[in-house]
Amino acid sequence: MISAVETYLGVRRAAGFALSNSEYLLRSFAHFAAERQQAHVHTATVIDWASETVSVAQRHTRYQTICRFACYLRLEDPRHELPPPNYFGYRNSRRVPHIYSRGEIDRLIRAATQLPPAMSLRPQTYATLISLLAATGLRISEALGLRLCDLTPDGLVIRKTKFQKTRLVPLHESCVAALHRYLTCRRRAHSGGDHVFVSTDGQPLTYRQVHAVFGKLLQSADLVPSCGRAPRLHELRHTFAVRALESTPAGRQRIGQHMVALATYLGHVNIDTTYWYLETTPELLSDIAAAGESFVHGGRS
């Protein structure tokens, strides 16, 4: 079954899927099946293997990964069993994203500038990274993947990230100026390499490093609640989408055009994904109430 896994991964990756986690899971299942001397997918084996993990969500992820794999295999060999869908009864629930206020973002950036060592590139790196995420709505992976040549006079070139899409992200002049100030310091501290964001040793900054530091910044900025979940780094992207919606021009047609532009800017394949990022805020509710009142009293929507 190992060879089938390799073929499957090759086909899916040719279609633009990264499958880093799926690769690990598929290899794990293939070894599990081999220990049972099974060359074909069996539902009972899939269930036993998926049940080895702790949470229902993890079991569901493992189970669905093999279900997709089995669908592919059955196209050429019906001896592979197709497990029934959603065996573990998992229901995906969306965590309500935290929408950062402007003051909270300012506190995060201010906390980043206080990171040790005081005279090193590190404080500027994290302050600039958080500022860029808040100002552009980039995915953290896109920001960390930026190369020096990706900063062009027309904006940032985001190269083949999610869904293998490349897009141009226009930047406000203040954002361009801030990036150039950071890059001047970055070249002075580490002249080698072509990544925009680097760690103290000049190597490309990793998500693991950023995630750990961001947790500390939340504490320094007093954004860790006494109960409940702390805000997440990815929610800067949610915040950008919501603030963009708040600035939507009036008129149904113009709103539609604005949403299409926002979806393109964020790098979404389908506009439905953009709607997933939107969240109600007091400002939006106030705008909706005003529009509804205008409509009821004979105004234009």
Evaluated on CA atoms 187, 190, 191, 194, the torsion sign reads: negative
CA gap 107, 131 in Å, rounded: 11
* Catalytic residue status for 207: no
Q: Give catalytic status of residue 95 as yes or no.
A: no
User: Among the options 27, 162, 190, 216, which is catalytic?
Assistant: 162
Catalytic residue selected from 80, 98, 237, 238: 237
d(CA 235, CA 232): 5
Per the CB < 8 A criterion, the answer to whether 133 and 180 are in contact is no
Annotation says 237 is catalytic: yes
Among residues 27, 74, 139, 232, the one annotated as catalytic is: 139
Active site residue 63: no
On whether the CB atoms of residues 130 and 124 are closer than 8 A, the answer is: no
Surface-to-core class of residue 142, CB atoms within 10 Å of its CB (0-12 exposed, 13-18 middle, 19+ buried): buried
268 has catalytic annotation: yes
End-to-end CA distance of the chain: 59
Which of the residues 59, 80, 98, 268 is marked catalytic? Answer: 268
Site of tokens 């027309």: 154
- Give the residue carrying structure tokens 């005081």: 118
Instruction: Provide the 3-class DSSP secondary structure of residue 157.
Output: strand
3-state secondary structure at position 114: coil
Beta-carbon neighbour count of residue 200 at 10 Å? 14
79, 102, 234, 254: which one is catalytic?
234
Look up 98 and say whether it is catalytic.
no
Out of 63, 182, 265, 277, pick the active-site residue. 277
Cis peptide before 117 (omega within 30 of 0): yes
Provide the Cα torsion 146, 148, 153, 158; round to 10°. -20
Instruction: Classify the C-alpha dihedral 196-199-203-208 as positive or negative.
Output: negative
Catalytic residues: 139, 162, 234, 237, 268, 277
